[in-house]
Copies of this chain bind each other. A is one copy, B any other.
Amino acid sequence: MREPGRTKLPQFLESTDPGFEAQFQALLTMKREDSPDVDAVVAQIIADVRARGDAAVIELTQRFDRLALTPQSLAFTPEEIAAHCAAAPSEERAALDLAAERIRAYHARQMPQDADWVDESGARLGWRWTPVEAAGLYVPGGLASYPSSVLMNAIPAQVAGVDRLAICVPTPDGVVNPLVIYAAHLAGVSEIYRIGGAQAIAALAYGTQTIAPVDKITGPGNAFVAAAKRRVFGKVGIDMIAGPSEILVIADGGGDPDWVAIDLLSQAEHDESAQSILITDDAGFGQRVAEAVERRLETLERREIAGASWRDFGAVITVRDLDEAADLSNRIAPEHLELCIAQPREFAAKIRHAGAIFLGSWTPEAIGDYVGGPNHVLPTARSARFSSGLSVMDFIKRTTLAEMTPAALRAIGPAAETLARSESLEAHGLSVTARLERLNDGDL
Protein backbone atom coordinates (compact mmCIF):
# COMPACT_ATOMS: atom_id res chain seq x y z
CA MET A 1 0.00 0.00 0.00
CA ARG A 2 1.39 3.33 -1.10
CA GLU A 3 0.95 6.24 1.29
CA PRO A 4 1.18 9.50 -0.64
CA GLY A 5 3.06 12.13 1.33
CA ARG A 6 1.03 14.89 -0.33
CA THR A 7 -1.87 14.24 2.02
CA LYS A 8 0.15 15.94 4.71
CA LEU A 9 2.35 18.34 2.80
CA PRO A 10 1.65 21.25 0.42
CA GLN A 11 3.52 21.32 -2.91
CA PHE A 12 4.69 24.92 -2.35
CA LEU A 13 6.76 25.66 0.74
CA GLU A 14 8.20 28.99 1.86
CA SER A 15 11.06 29.22 4.30
CA THR A 16 9.57 32.37 5.82
CA ASP A 17 6.40 30.50 6.75
CA PRO A 18 6.24 29.81 10.54
CA GLY A 19 5.30 26.20 9.80
CA PHE A 20 8.20 25.72 7.37
CA GLU A 21 10.58 23.78 9.63
CA ALA A 22 7.91 21.18 10.38
CA GLN A 23 7.00 20.91 6.69
CA PHE A 24 10.64 20.57 5.66
CA GLN A 25 11.18 17.86 8.29
CA ALA A 26 8.15 16.03 6.90
CA LEU A 27 9.65 16.29 3.42
CA LEU A 28 12.98 14.90 4.67
CA THR A 29 11.47 11.92 6.44
CA MET A 30 8.64 11.19 3.99
CA LYS A 31 8.37 7.47 3.35
CA ARG A 32 8.42 7.05 -0.42
CA GLU A 33 8.93 3.37 -0.86
CA ASP A 34 7.27 0.24 0.36
CA SER A 35 9.70 -2.53 1.14
CA PRO A 36 7.69 -5.67 0.63
CA ASP A 37 8.97 -8.29 3.03
CA VAL A 38 10.42 -10.84 0.64
CA ASP A 39 13.20 -11.91 2.99
CA ALA A 40 11.80 -15.35 3.82
CA VAL A 41 11.26 -16.22 0.15
CA VAL A 42 14.73 -14.96 -0.71
CA ALA A 43 16.35 -16.99 2.09
CA GLN A 44 14.69 -20.10 0.66
CA ILE A 45 15.83 -19.33 -2.89
CA ILE A 46 19.41 -18.82 -1.74
CA ALA A 47 19.37 -22.07 0.26
CA ASP A 48 17.97 -23.90 -2.76
CA VAL A 49 20.66 -22.57 -5.12
CA ARG A 50 23.38 -23.42 -2.59
CA ALA A 51 22.03 -26.95 -2.25
CA ARG A 52 21.17 -27.79 -5.85
CA GLY A 53 23.13 -25.30 -7.96
CA ASP A 54 22.25 -25.23 -11.68
CA ALA A 55 19.13 -27.36 -11.21
CA ALA A 56 17.63 -24.81 -8.80
CA VAL A 57 18.58 -21.85 -10.98
CA ILE A 58 17.02 -23.51 -14.03
CA GLU A 59 13.79 -24.37 -12.22
CA LEU A 60 13.41 -20.86 -10.81
CA THR A 61 14.08 -19.30 -14.22
CA GLN A 62 11.38 -21.51 -15.71
CA ARG A 63 8.98 -20.40 -12.99
CA PHE A 64 9.70 -16.65 -12.92
CA ASP A 65 10.87 -15.92 -16.48
CA ARG A 66 8.95 -18.65 -18.35
CA LEU A 67 12.22 -19.67 -19.95
CA ALA A 68 13.51 -23.25 -20.35
CA LEU A 69 17.28 -23.38 -19.88
CA THR A 70 19.87 -26.13 -19.60
CA PRO A 71 23.30 -25.87 -17.95
CA GLN A 72 24.62 -25.40 -21.50
CA SER A 73 22.29 -22.51 -22.31
CA LEU A 74 22.60 -20.61 -19.02
CA ALA A 75 25.25 -18.40 -20.63
CA PHE A 76 25.08 -16.64 -23.98
CA THR A 77 27.49 -18.28 -26.42
CA PRO A 78 30.10 -16.13 -28.20
CA GLU A 79 28.03 -16.54 -31.37
CA GLU A 80 24.87 -15.34 -29.63
CA ILE A 81 26.72 -12.35 -28.22
CA ALA A 82 28.08 -11.46 -31.65
CA ALA A 83 24.61 -11.80 -33.22
CA HIS A 84 22.98 -9.54 -30.59
CA CYS A 85 25.76 -6.98 -30.99
CA ALA A 86 25.22 -6.96 -34.76
CA ALA A 87 21.46 -6.57 -34.21
CA ALA A 88 21.91 -3.41 -32.14
CA PRO A 89 21.04 -0.30 -34.18
CA SER A 90 24.14 1.58 -35.31
CA GLU A 91 23.09 5.01 -33.94
CA GLU A 92 22.62 3.52 -30.44
CA ARG A 93 25.90 1.63 -30.81
CA ALA A 94 27.76 4.83 -31.64
CA ALA A 95 26.15 6.58 -28.66
CA LEU A 96 27.21 3.75 -26.35
CA ASP A 97 30.73 3.90 -27.84
CA LEU A 98 30.97 7.59 -26.92
CA ALA A 99 29.51 6.99 -23.47
CA ALA A 100 31.94 4.12 -22.78
CA GLU A 101 34.91 6.18 -23.89
CA ARG A 102 33.95 9.11 -21.65
CA ILE A 103 33.09 6.93 -18.64
CA ARG A 104 36.41 5.11 -19.04
CA ALA A 105 38.41 8.36 -19.24
CA TYR A 106 36.74 9.73 -16.09
CA HIS A 107 37.17 6.56 -14.04
CA ALA A 108 40.79 6.03 -15.12
CA ARG A 109 41.63 9.15 -13.10
CA GLN A 110 40.22 7.55 -9.95
CA MET A 111 42.93 4.90 -9.58
CA PRO A 112 44.68 5.74 -6.29
CA GLN A 113 48.42 5.56 -5.75
CA ASP A 114 50.31 3.00 -3.70
CA ALA A 115 52.51 4.42 -0.95
CA ASP A 116 55.83 3.40 0.57
CA TRP A 117 58.02 5.44 2.94
CA VAL A 118 60.53 5.09 5.77
CA ASP A 119 59.74 7.08 8.89
CA GLU A 120 62.07 8.59 11.48
CA SER A 121 62.13 5.38 13.56
CA GLY A 122 63.44 3.48 10.54
CA ALA A 123 60.14 1.64 10.06
CA ARG A 124 59.14 1.15 6.45
CA LEU A 125 55.41 1.71 6.02
CA GLY A 126 52.92 1.94 3.19
CA TRP A 127 50.03 0.32 1.42
CA ARG A 128 49.22 -1.27 -1.89
CA TRP A 129 45.96 -1.37 -3.87
CA THR A 130 44.97 -4.56 -5.68
CA PRO A 131 41.89 -5.37 -7.75
CA VAL A 132 39.15 -7.77 -6.78
CA GLU A 133 39.57 -11.00 -8.77
CA ALA A 134 35.98 -11.61 -9.88
CA ALA A 135 32.96 -9.32 -9.96
CA GLY A 136 29.33 -10.03 -10.83
CA LEU A 137 27.10 -7.34 -12.28
CA TYR A 138 23.35 -7.61 -12.01
CA VAL A 139 21.28 -6.03 -14.78
CA PRO A 140 17.49 -5.95 -14.39
CA GLY A 141 15.36 -7.33 -17.21
CA GLY A 142 12.30 -5.84 -18.84
CA LEU A 143 11.64 -2.09 -18.92
CA ALA A 144 14.45 -1.13 -16.55
CA SER A 145 17.09 -3.04 -18.54
CA TYR A 146 19.38 -0.09 -19.12
CA PRO A 147 22.51 -0.49 -21.27
CA SER A 148 23.85 2.70 -19.65
CA SER A 149 23.84 0.93 -16.27
CA VAL A 150 25.90 -1.91 -17.74
CA LEU A 151 28.57 0.62 -18.70
CA MET A 152 28.41 2.41 -15.32
CA ASN A 153 28.93 -0.85 -13.42
CA ALA A 154 31.28 -2.74 -15.72
CA ILE A 155 33.70 0.01 -16.77
CA PRO A 156 34.88 0.90 -13.23
CA ALA A 157 35.52 -2.82 -12.65
CA GLN A 158 37.40 -3.09 -15.91
CA VAL A 159 39.46 0.05 -15.16
CA ALA A 160 40.23 -1.34 -11.68
CA GLY A 161 41.76 -4.43 -13.28
CA VAL A 162 39.19 -7.03 -12.22
CA ASP A 163 40.19 -10.30 -13.94
CA ARG A 164 36.76 -11.76 -14.45
CA LEU A 165 33.44 -9.99 -14.94
CA ALA A 166 30.18 -11.92 -15.10
CA ILE A 167 26.81 -10.35 -15.90
CA CYS A 168 23.42 -11.77 -14.98
CA VAL A 169 20.46 -10.34 -16.93
CA PRO A 170 17.08 -12.06 -16.91
CA THR A 171 15.39 -12.46 -20.30
CA PRO A 172 11.72 -13.06 -19.46
CA ASP A 173 10.04 -15.09 -22.22
CA GLY A 174 13.42 -15.12 -23.93
CA VAL A 175 13.33 -11.43 -24.89
CA VAL A 176 16.85 -10.01 -25.08
CA ASN A 177 17.79 -6.32 -25.20
CA PRO A 178 20.63 -6.35 -27.77
CA LEU A 179 21.96 -3.01 -26.45
CA VAL A 180 22.58 -4.59 -23.05
CA ILE A 181 24.67 -7.27 -24.74
CA TYR A 182 26.49 -4.65 -26.80
CA ALA A 183 27.22 -2.57 -23.68
CA ALA A 184 28.60 -5.67 -21.94
CA HIS A 185 30.76 -6.39 -24.96
CA LEU A 186 32.05 -2.76 -24.94
CA ALA A 187 33.04 -3.15 -21.29
CA GLY A 188 34.96 -6.34 -22.04
CA VAL A 189 32.42 -8.73 -20.54
CA SER A 190 31.93 -12.01 -22.39
CA GLU A 191 30.43 -14.05 -19.54
CA ILE A 192 26.69 -13.27 -19.59
CA TYR A 193 24.01 -15.43 -17.97
CA ARG A 194 20.30 -15.16 -18.85
CA ILE A 195 19.14 -15.45 -15.24
CA GLY A 196 17.80 -12.94 -12.74
CA GLY A 197 16.26 -12.39 -9.33
CA ALA A 198 17.53 -13.76 -6.02
CA GLN A 199 18.60 -16.95 -7.81
CA ALA A 200 21.11 -14.98 -9.91
CA ILE A 201 22.56 -13.26 -6.83
CA ALA A 202 22.85 -16.63 -5.06
CA ALA A 203 24.56 -18.19 -8.10
CA LEU A 204 27.08 -15.33 -8.26
CA ALA A 205 27.80 -15.44 -4.52
CA TYR A 206 28.03 -19.19 -4.00
CA GLY A 207 28.63 -20.53 -7.49
CA THR A 208 26.95 -23.47 -9.22
CA GLN A 209 28.29 -26.30 -11.35
CA THR A 210 28.34 -23.90 -14.32
CA ILE A 211 28.80 -20.46 -12.75
CA ALA A 212 32.01 -19.78 -10.79
CA PRO A 213 31.49 -17.66 -7.66
CA VAL A 214 32.54 -14.00 -7.62
CA ASP A 215 33.96 -11.80 -4.85
CA LYS A 216 31.85 -8.68 -5.35
CA ILE A 217 28.33 -8.08 -6.68
CA THR A 218 27.04 -4.71 -7.91
CA GLY A 219 24.06 -3.42 -9.84
CA PRO A 220 20.44 -2.42 -9.28
CA GLY A 221 17.46 -4.72 -8.95
CA ASN A 222 13.97 -5.23 -7.54
CA ALA A 223 13.09 -6.06 -3.92
CA PHE A 224 14.14 -9.71 -4.36
CA VAL A 225 17.55 -8.75 -5.73
CA ALA A 226 18.05 -6.17 -2.97
CA ALA A 227 17.12 -8.64 -0.23
CA ALA A 228 19.43 -11.27 -1.74
CA LYS A 229 22.32 -8.80 -1.88
CA ARG A 230 21.81 -7.95 1.82
CA ARG A 231 21.85 -11.67 2.65
CA VAL A 232 25.04 -12.57 0.74
CA PHE A 233 26.87 -9.47 2.07
CA GLY A 234 29.89 -10.72 4.01
CA LYS A 235 30.32 -13.82 1.85
CA VAL A 236 30.92 -11.34 -1.00
CA GLY A 237 31.13 -7.55 -1.16
CA ILE A 238 28.14 -5.61 -2.46
CA ASP A 239 27.59 -2.04 -3.59
CA MET A 240 24.88 0.08 -2.02
CA ILE A 241 21.19 -0.86 -1.92
CA ALA A 242 19.75 1.90 -4.10
CA GLY A 243 16.41 3.53 -3.34
CA PRO A 244 14.17 5.51 -5.73
CA SER A 245 15.86 8.30 -7.68
CA GLU A 246 15.94 11.93 -6.54
CA ILE A 247 16.83 15.33 -7.92
CA LEU A 248 17.18 18.68 -6.24
CA VAL A 249 17.37 21.70 -8.55
CA ILE A 250 18.52 25.00 -7.07
CA ALA A 251 17.60 27.88 -9.39
CA ASP A 252 17.70 31.63 -9.28
CA GLY A 253 15.19 33.58 -11.36
CA GLY A 254 17.51 33.85 -14.36
CA GLY A 255 16.97 30.48 -16.04
CA ASP A 256 14.36 29.01 -18.34
CA PRO A 257 11.44 27.59 -16.29
CA ASP A 258 10.77 24.98 -18.97
CA TRP A 259 14.34 23.59 -18.76
CA VAL A 260 14.04 23.22 -15.01
CA ALA A 261 10.60 21.63 -15.40
CA ILE A 262 11.93 18.95 -17.76
CA ASP A 263 14.89 18.31 -15.49
CA LEU A 264 12.52 17.73 -12.56
CA LEU A 265 10.43 15.40 -14.71
CA SER A 266 13.49 13.47 -15.90
CA GLN A 267 13.75 12.01 -12.38
CA ALA A 268 10.00 11.80 -11.83
CA GLU A 269 9.56 9.64 -14.95
CA HIS A 270 11.81 6.91 -13.46
CA ASP A 271 9.42 5.78 -10.80
CA GLU A 272 6.27 6.85 -8.94
CA SER A 273 8.46 6.89 -5.81
CA ALA A 274 11.05 9.23 -7.32
CA GLN A 275 11.33 12.69 -5.81
CA SER A 276 11.96 16.03 -7.57
CA ILE A 277 12.45 19.21 -5.55
CA LEU A 278 13.07 22.78 -6.68
CA ILE A 279 14.56 25.35 -4.33
CA THR A 280 14.54 28.92 -5.60
CA ASP A 281 14.99 32.41 -4.21
CA ASP A 282 12.39 33.70 -6.70
CA ALA A 283 8.81 32.73 -5.85
CA GLY A 284 7.55 33.82 -9.27
CA PHE A 285 10.11 31.60 -11.01
CA GLY A 286 9.02 28.67 -8.84
CA GLN A 287 5.43 29.28 -9.93
CA ARG A 288 6.44 29.36 -13.61
CA VAL A 289 8.38 26.09 -13.23
CA ALA A 290 5.35 24.41 -11.67
CA GLU A 291 3.20 25.62 -14.56
CA ALA A 292 5.76 24.31 -17.06
CA VAL A 293 5.74 20.94 -15.31
CA GLU A 294 1.97 20.72 -15.74
CA ARG A 295 2.28 21.70 -19.42
CA ARG A 296 4.97 19.07 -20.08
CA LEU A 297 2.95 16.46 -18.21
CA GLU A 298 0.15 16.81 -20.78
CA THR A 299 2.22 15.18 -23.49
CA LEU A 300 4.99 13.21 -21.76
CA GLU A 301 5.02 9.49 -22.67
CA ARG A 302 5.48 8.44 -19.06
CA ARG A 303 3.07 11.11 -17.75
CA GLU A 304 1.28 8.69 -15.43
CA ILE A 305 4.46 7.74 -13.58
CA ALA A 306 5.99 11.23 -13.67
CA GLY A 307 2.71 12.85 -12.68
CA ALA A 308 2.22 10.58 -9.69
CA SER A 309 5.78 11.18 -8.51
CA TRP A 310 5.41 14.96 -8.86
CA ARG A 311 2.02 15.08 -7.17
CA ASP A 312 2.99 12.85 -4.26
CA PHE A 313 6.61 13.78 -3.62
CA GLY A 314 7.50 16.87 -5.67
CA ALA A 315 8.00 20.23 -3.98
CA VAL A 316 8.84 23.85 -4.77
CA ILE A 317 10.57 25.63 -1.90
CA THR A 318 11.02 29.39 -1.90
CA VAL A 319 13.93 30.63 0.22
CA ARG A 320 15.18 34.06 1.29
CA ASP A 321 18.53 33.68 -0.49
CA LEU A 322 20.91 31.12 -1.95
CA ASP A 323 22.78 30.64 1.34
CA GLU A 324 19.58 29.28 2.78
CA ALA A 325 19.28 27.05 -0.31
CA ALA A 326 22.73 25.61 0.40
CA ASP A 327 21.79 24.85 4.02
CA LEU A 328 18.59 23.07 3.01
CA SER A 329 20.44 21.17 0.26
CA ASN A 330 22.95 19.88 2.80
CA ARG A 331 20.11 18.67 4.99
CA ILE A 332 18.52 16.89 2.01
CA ALA A 333 21.88 15.39 0.86
CA PRO A 334 20.42 14.76 -2.62
CA GLU A 335 21.46 12.04 -5.01
CA HIS A 336 21.53 14.57 -7.89
CA LEU A 337 21.96 18.31 -7.35
CA GLU A 338 21.52 20.65 -10.30
CA LEU A 339 22.65 24.26 -9.93
CA CYS A 340 20.77 26.45 -12.43
CA ILE A 341 22.22 29.66 -11.06
CA ALA A 342 24.53 32.42 -12.24
CA GLN A 343 27.65 31.46 -10.27
CA PRO A 344 27.40 27.71 -9.82
CA ARG A 345 31.08 27.07 -9.11
CA GLU A 346 31.25 29.45 -6.14
CA PHE A 347 27.98 28.09 -4.84
CA ALA A 348 29.11 24.44 -5.17
CA ALA A 349 31.83 25.10 -2.60
CA LYS A 350 29.07 25.45 0.01
CA ILE A 351 27.69 21.98 -0.72
CA ARG A 352 28.90 19.25 1.60
CA HIS A 353 26.50 16.36 0.99
CA ALA A 354 25.47 15.37 -2.55
CA GLY A 355 26.06 12.36 -4.77
CA ALA A 356 26.70 14.40 -7.90
CA ILE A 357 26.53 18.10 -8.74
CA PHE A 358 25.59 19.43 -12.18
CA LEU A 359 26.80 23.00 -12.55
CA GLY A 360 24.98 25.63 -14.57
CA SER A 361 21.98 25.67 -16.86
CA TRP A 362 23.82 23.91 -19.69
CA THR A 363 24.26 20.76 -17.59
CA PRO A 364 21.00 18.82 -17.39
CA GLU A 365 21.20 15.87 -15.05
CA ALA A 366 20.52 13.47 -17.93
CA ILE A 367 23.98 14.22 -19.29
CA GLY A 368 25.32 12.52 -16.16
CA ASP A 369 23.09 9.51 -16.72
CA TYR A 370 24.75 8.74 -20.03
CA VAL A 371 27.74 10.54 -21.42
CA GLY A 372 29.12 13.03 -18.89
CA GLY A 373 31.76 10.64 -17.57
CA PRO A 374 31.00 10.45 -13.80
CA ASN A 375 29.09 7.41 -12.56
CA HIS A 376 25.29 7.43 -12.44
CA VAL A 377 25.13 4.92 -9.58
CA LEU A 378 24.78 7.33 -6.67
CA PRO A 379 23.72 7.34 -3.01
CA THR A 380 19.95 7.83 -2.47
CA ALA A 381 17.72 8.45 0.54
CA ARG A 382 20.10 10.97 2.19
CA SER A 383 22.97 8.47 2.25
CA ALA A 384 25.24 11.00 0.51
CA ARG A 385 25.83 12.12 4.13
CA PHE A 386 28.09 9.09 4.52
CA SER A 387 28.61 7.35 1.17
CA SER A 388 29.74 7.89 -2.40
CA GLY A 389 28.67 6.84 -5.86
CA LEU A 390 30.10 3.77 -7.55
CA SER A 391 33.73 4.11 -8.60
CA VAL A 392 36.95 2.27 -9.25
CA MET A 393 37.35 2.15 -5.44
CA ASP A 394 34.51 -0.39 -5.26
CA PHE A 395 36.61 -2.91 -7.18
CA ILE A 396 39.97 -2.52 -5.45
CA LYS A 397 41.13 -2.96 -1.88
CA ARG A 398 44.07 -1.85 0.21
CA THR A 399 46.70 -4.02 1.89
CA THR A 400 48.69 -2.12 4.53
CA LEU A 401 52.43 -2.80 4.81
CA ALA A 402 54.80 -2.54 7.77
CA GLU A 403 58.45 -3.58 8.02
CA MET A 404 60.47 -2.97 11.17
CA THR A 405 64.23 -2.89 11.51
CA PRO A 406 65.91 -3.92 14.77
CA ALA A 407 66.41 -0.20 15.52
CA ALA A 408 62.75 0.61 14.79
CA LEU A 409 61.60 -2.24 17.02
CA ARG A 410 63.84 -0.99 19.80
CA ALA A 411 62.36 2.50 19.40
CA ILE A 412 58.67 1.67 19.36
CA GLY A 413 58.49 -1.91 20.68
CA PRO A 414 58.45 -1.03 24.41
CA ALA A 415 55.26 1.02 23.96
CA ALA A 416 53.63 -2.02 22.32
CA GLU A 417 54.71 -4.18 25.28
CA THR A 418 53.17 -1.68 27.70
CA LEU A 419 49.87 -1.52 25.83
CA ALA A 420 49.67 -5.32 25.42
CA ARG A 421 50.11 -5.69 29.17
CA SER A 422 47.42 -3.11 29.88
CA GLU A 423 45.01 -5.00 27.60
CA SER A 424 45.89 -8.36 29.25
CA LEU A 425 47.17 -9.74 25.96
CA GLU A 426 50.38 -11.37 27.18
CA ALA A 427 51.40 -13.13 23.97
CA HIS A 428 51.13 -9.83 22.09
CA GLY A 429 53.69 -8.36 24.44
CA LEU A 430 55.89 -11.49 24.45
CA SER A 431 56.16 -11.40 20.66
CA VAL A 432 57.94 -8.07 21.02
CA THR A 433 59.83 -9.00 24.21
CA ALA A 434 61.40 -12.13 22.67
CA ARG A 435 62.83 -10.05 19.84
CA LEU A 436 64.03 -7.19 22.06
CA GLU A 437 65.77 -9.72 24.33
CA ARG A 438 67.71 -11.00 21.35
CA LEU A 439 68.77 -7.43 20.55
CA ASN A 440 69.82 -6.87 24.16
CA ASP A 441 71.78 -10.13 24.09
CA GLY A 442 73.92 -8.30 21.57
CA ASP A 443 73.35 -10.79 18.78
CA LEU A 444 72.83 -7.86 16.44
The chain A residues found within 8 Å of chain B, CB to CB, are 89, 91-92, 94-96, 98-99, 102, 105-106, 109-110, 112, 115, 117, 119, 123-125, 127, 130, 132-133, 143, 146-148, 179, 215-216, 234, 236-237, 241, 256, 258-259, 262-263, 265-266, 268-270, 296, 300-302, 306, 344-345, 348, 351-375, 378-379, 381, 383-389, 391, 393, 397-406, 408-409, 412-416, 418-420, 422-432, 434-435, 438
Contacts and interface: CB of A to CB of B under 8 A. Distances in A.
B404 A363 contact: yes
Q: State how many copies of this chain the complex holds.
A: 2
A185 to B, nearest CB: 16
A371 B431 contact: no
Contacts of A383: 234, 237
A125 B106 contact: yes
Contacts of A423: 146-148
A313 to B, nearest CB: 16
A147 B431 contact: no
Contact of A398 (B148, B385, B389): B389
Given A96-B419, A386-B216, A404 B360 contact: yes
Given A89-B422, A95-B418, A371-B416, 4 more contacts: A124-B359, A344-B403, A363-B402, A370-B415
Closest 6 CB pairs of A and B: A237-B386, A374-B400, A359-B403, A364-B431, A95-B415, A366-B428
B345 A403 contact: yes
A380 to B, nearest CB: 10
